[in-house]
Amino acid sequence: MTQPAIVMPMNDPDGTMFAHLEKLTPLLKTIFVKALVGIPATTYHRQPDYMAWLEAEPFFDVFRLDTDPPVGEYFAALYRYAAQKSAPDLLLHLCFIDRLAFALETDYREQMTEDIRSLTVGDMPLVFARTEKAWETHPSNYREIEDMITRTGEMVFGRTLDYAWCHLVATAEQLDAAMGSIDNPSMSMLAEIVLSLQDTMQCKAVDWLAWEDPFILSVDAEELKAQRESSQQETLKRLSYALPMMELIYKAAKA
């Protein structure tokens, strides 16, 4: 069976996540056939050493942007590039380096690797969702707000899906078809992808999507969790993408 590919945005001007990527690359090569990485302009110019390393490593297919576009436009450009540069039946794992680093640098490594390797074309498209155990590690405001999105989808479509996903897998052909209808410049475009694929979308809940921030920031998990739960700014940040996602679900149901 052909190895899948990984597709990741890398907006990392301070180089924090590149250090994780460099550490993980030998392992990633055993799991994926290639990594398609999207680099916005500021990151490209501020990290010349990492850029030289990426561009010299055949495993990486670097998609360089000349600007720093809004997050939705950034993701969409990368995903279109990945879909069009890959064989139609190649499995593309759309994910994020912080989540990947957390899972593969901790005790979740074996579980995540097994879950990735077990997938076939017949499982596509698929979204990895958080289990109850994984959600318990997140701040309660994160969970409650994202649950509003999921519940909205349940009520209007009868499907339980993670519209604000952290890890989605599709064939290049499926992703290419989905991206044809994506036009939202914000993070809510993640929900647009699910909406375009939801008739055949499958879901697998996993523990390795536990909260990654304490690991990435090297801080106490309970202290950070308490800080985020009491932060109005954090709550508003999540509402800023949750409300547009719910509106997208509403519009899709009316269409």
What is the chain's pLDDT, residue by residue, as a tens digit (255 residues)? 679 999 999 999 999 999 999 999 999 999 999 999 999 999 999 999 999 999 999 999 999 999 999 999 999 999 999 999 999 999 999 999 999 999 999 999 999 999 999 999 999 999 999 999 999 999 999 999 999 999 999 999 999 999 999 999 999 999 999 999 898 899 999 999 999 999 999 999 999 999 999 999 999 999 999 999 999 999 999 999 999 999 999 999 998
Q: Which three-class secondary structure string do you get for the chain?
A: CCCCEEEEECCCCCCHHHHHHHHHHHHHHHHCCEEEEEECHHHHHHCHHHHHHHHHCCCEEEEECCCCCCHHHHHHHHHHHHHHHCCCCCEEEECCHHHHHHHHCCCCHHHHHHHHHCCCHHHCCEEEEECHHHHHCCCHHHHHHHHHHHHHHHHHHCCCCCCCCCEEEEEHHHHHHHHCCCCCCCCCHHHHHHHHHCCCCEEEEEHHHCCCHHHHHCCCHHHHHHHHHCCHHHHHHHHHHHHHHHHHHHHHHHC
- Would 104 be classed as within a structural domain? yes
CATH assignment of the domain containing 190: 3.90.550.10
**Structural domain range at position 204:** 5-134+164-211
Position 1 scores a pLDDT of 64
Res 255: pLDDT? 85
pLDDT (0 to 100) of residue 181: 85
pLDDT of 240: 96
**Residue 217 belongs to some domain of the structure:** no
Provide the token pair at 208: 């390795």
Establish if 186 belongs to a structural domain: yes
pLDDT for the residue numbered 10: 97
Q: Does residue 222 form part of some domain?
A: no
On whether residue 155 sits in a domain, the answer given is no
Task: Dig out the tokens for 184 from the structure.
Answer: 């939202």
Tell whether 156 is covered by a domain.
no
How many domains would you assign to the chain? 1
Residue 74 maps to a domain: yes
Q: Is there a domain that residue 249 lies in? A: no
